[in-house]
């Protein structure tokens, strides 16, 4: 070995071992790093790995359907296809995806802006696929499906959407569903994960939400980096809710709606044997389907600010003074108190009570009348007398016995208002004032503090007609149904049998018979207030009671200015027209209550509607058990 | 050192072809070959898994390349060392030429490191490291350790030109690796200690300058995202975060072959190329990664130990420097995928998919074997003009 060479070799040996040592140190650092990641922090990364790959999906069972008593579908579900997308990373990728989607779908300009807007909003979160737009045609669905290769992260999903074939006809009773709001989420956290869920708002959709919804299931799915699900890991099955069958007959309901068309008011038709509501209609109405797809501001403003308040269900929430229809209650209270029905009262058109002048609706007076004629001709003075003799508390007791002043339904399926039956104690408590004779007199003709809803008036009539302590039913039954049937529009399930008869009312049958007879005279005697509204069919005579409720008196100035009649006043000051009735007079089957706001005279406006409704119910034989499954055309 | 020390040496102990063949066949470097076999197997497993348990599209090409690489390795090993010594500058010259082509041929993409001929792609910056090692080994072999200005200037130029061209591509990671490989080779080959110390001090001072004047904005973003990857989990930090999740979720024993969800569900980007190690780490766990690291360490130690017994300077420097190239592959790639270094796009042959890195590795191994075969040869200097 030469010196230079040996020096250099010596250097090399030292230096190469130094480098080797350094390399060893660096590799030890790498090993330490791997130890840290894979051993010390393993659990943390294992969790994050699972978070990456496992996504929770909530399985919403198709909502329970609602049928009418004959199996006509009133609220069902329809499939819609929606475009879902996991937005690609980065501005660049999103723009490219946007262009491709536009090219494939060639959306209309409104859809285009929608697409653009949603794409912009969903730029960041890559957690779940975002719902983009609704695909309106099968053509679009197939277009997207056939281009799936160039559209990673894009999928078409089916979602069921609520649909109301009956539209306006049953809007109030059924209610509607609409998208979950932040209020709903604050009440139920689970809803936060159901961004596309629609929740029942009013009517049966709200009151039966839990029944219709069923139980939401969960599905843990493994997804890949493009948000596409690869396989199912764990599934907790969804429990479908129940189908409901209502007591309402769609045909009658539709007919009622047509009778009330153009009016503001409500009509309720009850089965006097079972208490089932056969028709329950409030006018004007609205299309519940609008709420499902989402209302625009203008439509919402129009609906909510309209003076005729189409969103309010007048049939169960509209409170009206019952007016002269209440006279049957006073008559029953008097008879039960031992009043002699042949006792006559003279009507001279006006009398003084508690320092005030009380008029009969007939200015010239009725002369001397017994009770039957007083009901038939609706003499106010006669009932002032009866009421003053009875005192308000006895009248109130009878009113309550007939179903006024309290919720009418036995199944609590309807969100109704109770109405008001005043007593002395009530006035003391609420107004801290004593009860005056004039108050009693007002109650005697169904005015003053007294308030009742149309469904209460119908129940009152049904109880008088049947003599039984009926309750109003809206739901005939509910039943389970497979989820598949629920979406294919199969026939309704079996809802079970009828129930036992209601107990008899605690009222003498003779008193009831007397009042029924007097109500028949209202329609069928030549002196009756509703003599022009009879059915003119001997096998199906109607009995009833008219009511014309003053909204505002005609003032002295107006009288001077020539306003003689109610029709001359502006619409909003005109009288409410009321009628309650039942038919047939012998062995009643149907009871009805009609309220037409500002309709004027009860006999001319409300009574014919009630008559037509009763006739139609009879013609259709609604309660005969002739049940054929039908469909709304 | 003075001129007195200079003694002309003749080549001695050059084995003939038959002896070279016998040397390799009768006393094969069994540990090195076994280590390579394990690495190739690991690579094939990863390529199979990355495709979701499918031979296509990566497994079969990868296997073919590995086979071709092995043949090439043996061929390189059996060539007379004097051939490699004589033509030691040629590879570097060729790589520089190709890098110049890349520099001046316009390209659509912002980052372009590839020469394309038909369906074949070639990344000249990869073998440039080896070419540089060969050139420097030859240079110092001829210099015989006499020091002087030339011994700083020439290696400086040899290192700086390819590093600059690669940085221009821009490929910061490989450029840094070229500089590192060049410096280590020069250090091993006998660069004066004073130059080494001065160079180290200068390099430390240059870091801030590099940051502000040399790095591109996107490279700075990468470094920043490396320093705080959680700040931008869907943007620049996404790759790294997903990679760390994959490595970490592997745990002690891994999630099993084909069982890594990060890999199979495509959360890992580039999972068959630069992040192939992550696939391995997820499916084989700490036990697997430690074994892999040990295998790379084995190759490195084997090469350095060999270098201690080699009787010619060219072979010594070559062997030790080649182990440094192998070290850099393992160190940079694993550090990058585990988040101790910025994501710079540095492969891990023979695990990563990619022909150029694989080719480079096998030529490296071939030269290592060549040094092994010629360990007893004594080689005279080749270039008198440099003396």
Instruction: Provide the ipTM.
Output: 0.91
Residue B162 belongs to a domain: yes
For residue B4, the tally of other CB atoms under 10 A from its CB is: 8
What is the tens place of the pLDDT at every residue in A538-574?
889 999 999 999 887 777 777 777 777 777 788 888 8
Closest CA to B4 of A178, A284, A580, A2: A2
Shortest CA gap B39–chain A (Å): 17
Residue predicted with more confidence, A333 or A183: A333
Residue with the two structure tokens 């936060």: A192
Residue B13 belongs to a domain: no
A315, A282 in Cβ contact below 8 A? yes
At residue A124, does pLDDT exceed 60? Answer: no
Structure tokens given for B256: 């099993």
At residue A383, does pLDDT exceed 90? Answer: yes
Give yes or no for A17 touching B (CB within 8 A): yes
Residue B261 belongs to a domain: yes
Give the pLDDT score at B6: 44
Give percent above pLDDT 90 in chain A.
Answer: 45
Residue with the two structure tokens 């107006």: A558
At residue B135, does pLDDT exceed 60? Answer: yes
Q: Do A16 and B301 touch (CB under 8 A)?
A: no
What is the tens place of the pLDDT at every residue in A410-440?
777 788 898 899 999 999 999 999 999 999 9
At residue A488, does pLDDT exceed 70? Answer: no
A48, A473 in Cβ contact below 8 A? no
Contacts of B251 in chain A (CB under 8 A): 38-39, 42, 46
Closest CA to B183 of B342, B319, B324: B324
B27, B98 in Cβ contact below 8 A? no
Q: List the single best residue of A3, A12, A126 to mutate versus B (max B Cβ within 10 A).
A: A12
β pairing state of A242-246 and A66-67 = parallel
Closest CA to B367 of B34, B84, B93, B11: B84
A547, A326 in Cβ contact below 8 A? yes
Least confident of A225-229, A467-471, B250-254, B327-331: A225-229
Q: Please enumerate in sequence order all residues whose Cβ is within 8 A of that of A596, keeping only pairs 6 or more positions apart, or say none.
A: A260, A263, A264, A265, A576, A577, A578, A605, A606, A609
Q: Where are the alpha helices (DSSP H) in B2-124?
A: 17-26, 30-50, 59-78, 81-86, 90-104
As a whole number of angstroms, the distance between CA A115 and CA A130 comes to 11
Give the pLDDT score at A122: 58
Contacts of A48 in chain B (CB under 8 A): 245, 248-249
What is the tens place of the pLDDT at every residue in A590-608?
999 999 999 888 889 999 9
Give the pLDDT score at B5: 42
Give the pLDDT score at A62: 82
Give the pLDDT score at A484: 53
Contacts of A53 in chain B (CB under 8 A): 261-262, 265, 267
Closest CA to A566 of A579, A575, A555: A575
What is the average pLDDT across A450-476? 93
User: Mapping DSSP to helix (H, G, I), strand (E, B) and coil, where does residue B340 land?
Assistant: coil
- Per-residue pLDDT band at B110 (split at 50, 70, 90): very low
- Residue A477, φ and ψ in degrees, nearest 5: 180, 170
Residue predicted with more confidence, B179 or A157: B179
For residue B63, the tally of other CB atoms under 10 A from its CB is: 16
Which pairs from A45-50 meet CB under 8 Å and 24+ separation? A45/B244, A45/B245, A45/B246, A45/B247, A45/B248, A45/B249, A46/B248, A46/B249, A46/B251, A48/B245, A48/B248, A48/B249, A49/B245, A49/B246, A49/B248, A49/B249, A49/B261, A49/B262, A50/B261
Contacts of A14 in chain B (CB under 8 A): none
Residue B141 belongs to a domain: yes
User: Mapping DSSP to helix (H, G, I), strand (E, B) and coil, where does residue B348 land?
Assistant: coil
Structure tokens given for A226: 């493009």
User: What does the mean pLDDT of chain B come to?
Assistant: 86
Q: Where are the alpha helices (DSSP H) in A411-453?
A: 424-431, 437-444
Give the pLDDT score at B112: 61
Of A2, A24, A124, the CB nearest to B7: A2
B147, B192 in Cβ contact below 8 A? yes
Q: Which range has highest mean pLDDT (A175-189, B204-218, B354-368)? A: B354-368
Q: Which helix (H) or strand (E) holds B118?
A: none
Give the pLDDT score at B302: 96
Give the pLDDT score at B233: 53
- Per-residue pLDDT band at B387 (split at 50, 70, 90): very low
Structure tokens given for B169: 């591509």
Structural domain harbouring B326: 34-373
Give the pLDDT score at A495: 56
Of A27, A45, A89, the CB nearest to B238: A89
User: Residue B300: closest CA among chain A residues belongs to which residue?
Assistant: A20
Max CA distance (Å), chain B: 69
Give the pLDDT score at B236: 55
At residue A3, does pLDDT exceed 60? Answer: no
Max CA distance (Å), chain A: 155
Give percent above pLDDT 70 in chain A.
Answer: 89
Q: Catalogue the active-site residues of A.
A: 324
At residue B115, does pLDDT exceed 50? Answer: yes
User: What does the mean pLDDT of chain A come to?
Assistant: 85
Q: Do A3 and B5 touch (CB under 8 A)?
A: yes
Buried b (16+ CB within 10 A) or exposed e, B86-122: eebeebbeebbebbeebeeeeeeeeebbbbeeeeeee
Give the pLDDT score at B330: 96
As a whole number of angstroms, the distance between CA A31 and CA A38 comes to 10
For residue B184, the tally of other CB atoms under 10 A from its CB is: 26
Give the pLDDT score at B354: 86
At residue A233, does pLDDT exceed 70? Answer: yes
Residue with the two structure tokens 């990468």: B222
What is the average pLDDT across A251-279? 93
At residue A400, does pLDDT exceed 80? Answer: yes
User: Residue B289: closest CA among chain A residues belongs to which residue?
Assistant: A34
Q: Do B145 and A7 touch (CB under 8 A)?
A: yes
* A/B interface, count of CB pairs below 8 Å: 159
- Per-residue pLDDT band at B39 (split at 50, 70, 90): very high
Q: Please enumerate in sequence order all residues whose Cβ is within 8 A of that of B362, keeping only pairs 6 or more positions apart, or say none.
A: B69, B70, B72, B73, B76, B350
User: Residue B9: closest CA among chain A residues belongs to which residue?
Assistant: A2
What is the tens place of the pLDDT at every residue in B174-186?
888 999 999 999 9
Residue B17 belongs to a domain: no
Residue B174 belongs to a domain: yes
Give the pLDDT score at B123: 85
At residue A121, does pLDDT exceed 90? Answer: no
Domains and CATH numbers, chain A: 57-246 (3.90.1310.10), 314-469+504-573 (3.40.710.10)
Indicate left, alpha or beta for B257 from its phi (over 0: left) and psi (-120 to 50: alpha).
Answer: beta
Residue B89 belongs to a domain: yes
Q: Per DSSP, what are the bridge partners of residue A59? A: A217
- Per-residue pLDDT band at B385 (split at 50, 70, 90): low
What is the tens place of the pLDDT at every residue in A36-80?
999 999 999 999 888 888 877 778 888 888 999 888 999 988 888
What is the total count of domains within chain B? 1
Contacts of A222 in chain B (CB under 8 A): 261, 265
Residue B18 belongs to a domain: no
Closest CA to A462 of A475, A471, A453: A471
Shortest CA gap A226–chain B (Å): 8
Of B146, B266, B320, the CB nearest to A225: B266
What is the average pLDDT across B360-365? 96
């Amino acid at each position: 070995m030469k010196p230079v060479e040996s020096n250099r070799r010596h250097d090399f040996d030292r230096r190469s071992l130094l480098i080797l040592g350094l390399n060893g140190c660096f590799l030890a650092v790498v090993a330490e790093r791997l130890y840290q990641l894979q051993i010390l922090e393993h659990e943390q990364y294992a969790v994050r790995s699972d978070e990456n790959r496992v996504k929770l999906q909530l399985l919403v069972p198709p909502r329970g359907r609602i049928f009418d008593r004959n199996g006509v579908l009133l609220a069902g579900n329809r499939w819609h296809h929606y475009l879902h997308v996991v937005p690609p990373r980065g501005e660049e990728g999103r723009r490219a995806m946007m262009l491709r989607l536009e090219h494939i779908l060639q959306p209309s300009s409104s859809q285009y802006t929608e697409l653009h807007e949603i794409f912009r909003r969903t730029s960041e979160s890559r957690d779940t696929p975002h719902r983009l737009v609704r695909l309106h045609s099968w053509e679009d669905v197939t277009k997207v499906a056939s281009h799936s290769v160039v559209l990673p992260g894009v999928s078409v999903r089916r979602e069921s959407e609520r649909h109301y074939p009956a539209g306006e006809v049953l809007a109030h009773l059924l209610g509607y569903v609409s998208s979950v709001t932040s209020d709903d989420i604050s009440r139920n956290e689970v809803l936060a994960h159901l961004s596309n869920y629609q929740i029942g708002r009013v009517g049966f959709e709200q009151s039966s939400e839990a029944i219709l919804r069923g139980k939401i299931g969960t599905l843990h799915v493994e997804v890949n980096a493009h948000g596409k699900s690869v396989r199912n890991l764990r599934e907790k099955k969804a429990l479908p809710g129940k189908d409901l069958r209502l007591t309402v007959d769609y045909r009658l309901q539709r007919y009622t709606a047509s009778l009330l068309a153009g009016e503001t008011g409500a009509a309720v038709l009850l089965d006097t044997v079972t208490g089932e509501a056969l028709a329950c209609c409030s006018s004007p109405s609205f299309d519940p389907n609008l709420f499902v797809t989402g209302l625009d501001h203008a439509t919402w403003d129009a609906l909510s600010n309209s003076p005729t308040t189409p969103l309010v269900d007048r049939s169960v929430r509209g409170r009206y003074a019952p007016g002269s229809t209440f006279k049957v209650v006073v008559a029953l209270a008097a008879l039960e108190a031992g009043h002699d029905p042949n006792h006559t009262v003279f009507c001279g058109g006006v009398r003084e009570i508690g320092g005030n002048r009380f008029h009969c609706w007939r200015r010239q007076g009725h002369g001397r009348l017994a009770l039957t004629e007083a009901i038939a001709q609706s003499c106010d003075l006669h009932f002032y007398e009866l009421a003053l003799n009875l005192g308000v508390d006895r009248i109130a007791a009878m009113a309550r016995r007939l179903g006024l002043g309290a919720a009418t339904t036995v199944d609590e399926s309807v969100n109704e208002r109770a109405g008001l039956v005043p007593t002395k104690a009530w006035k003391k408590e609420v107004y801290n004032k004593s009860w005056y004779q004039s108050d009693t007199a007002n109650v005697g003709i169904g005015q003053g503090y007294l308030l009742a809803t149309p469904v209460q008036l119908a129940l009152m009539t049904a109880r008088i007609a049947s003599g039984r302590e009926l309750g109003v039913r809206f739901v005939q039954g509910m039943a389970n149904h497979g989820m598949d049937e629920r979406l294919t529009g199969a026939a309704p399930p079996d809802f079970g049998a009828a129930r036992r008869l209601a107990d008899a009312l605690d009222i003498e049958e003779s008193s009831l018979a007397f009042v029924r007879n007097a109500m028949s005279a209202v329609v069928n005697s030549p002196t009756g207030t509703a003599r022009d509204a009879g059915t003119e069919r001997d096998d199906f005579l109607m009995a009833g009671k008219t009511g014309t409720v003053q909204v505002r008196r005609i003032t002295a100035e107006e009288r001077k200015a020539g306003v003689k009649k109610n029709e001359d006043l502006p619409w909003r000051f005109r009288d409410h027209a009321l009628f309650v009735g039942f038919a047939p007079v012998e062995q009643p089957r149907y009871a009805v209550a009609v309220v037409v706001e500002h309709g004027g005279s009860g006999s001319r406006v409300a009574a014919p509607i009630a008559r037509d409704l009763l006739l139609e119910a009879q013609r259709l034989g609604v309660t005969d058990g002739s049940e054929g499954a039908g469909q709304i055309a | 050192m003075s001129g007195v020390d200079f003694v002309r040496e003749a080549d001695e102990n050059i084995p003939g072809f038959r002896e070279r063949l016998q040397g390799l066949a009768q006393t094969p470097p069994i540990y090195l070959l076994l280590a390579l076999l394990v690495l190739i197997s690991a690579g094939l497993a990863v390529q199979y898994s990355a495709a979701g348990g499918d031979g296509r599209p990566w497994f079969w090409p990868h296997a073919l390349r590995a086979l071709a690489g092995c043949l090439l390795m043996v061929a390189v090993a059996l060539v007379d060392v004097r051939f490699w010594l004589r033509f030691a500058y040629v590879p570097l010259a060729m790589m520089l030429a190709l890098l110049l082509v890349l520099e001046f041929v316009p390209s659509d993409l912002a980052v372009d490191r590839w020469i394309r001929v038909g369906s074949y792609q070639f990344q000249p910056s990869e073998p440039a490291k080896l070419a540089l090692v060969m050139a420097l080994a030859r240079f110092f072999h001829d210099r015989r350790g006499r020091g002087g200005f030339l011994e700083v200037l020439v290696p400086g130029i040899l290192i700086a030109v390819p590093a600059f061209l690669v940085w221009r591509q821009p490929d910061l990671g490989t450029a840094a690796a070229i500089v590192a490989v060049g410096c280590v080779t020069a250090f091993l080959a006998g660069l004066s200690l004073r130059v080494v110390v001065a160079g180290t001090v200068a390099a430390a001072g240059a870091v801030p300058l590099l940051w502000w004047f040399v790095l591109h904005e996107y490279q700075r973003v990468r470094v920043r995202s490396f320093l705080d990857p959680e700040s931008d989990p869907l943007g620049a930090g996404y790759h790294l975060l997903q990679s760390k999740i994959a490595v970490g979720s592997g745990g002690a024993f891994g999630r099993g072959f084909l069982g890594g969800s990060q890999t199979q569900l495509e959360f890992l980007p580039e999972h068959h190329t630069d992040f192939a190690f992550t696939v391995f780490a997820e499916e084989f766990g700490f036990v697997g990664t430690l074994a892999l690291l040990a295998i790379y360490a084995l190759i490195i130690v084997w090469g350095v130990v060999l270098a201690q017994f080699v009787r010619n300077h060219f072979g010594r420097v070559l062997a030790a420097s080649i182990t440094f190239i192998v070290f850099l592959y393992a160190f940079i790639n694993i550090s990058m995928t585990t988040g101790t270094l910025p994501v710079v796009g540095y492969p891990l042959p023979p695990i990563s998919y990619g022909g150029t890195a694989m080719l480079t590795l096998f030529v490296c191994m071939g030269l290592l074997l060549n040094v092994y075969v010629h360990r007893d040869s004594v080689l005279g200097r080749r270039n008198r003009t440099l003396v």
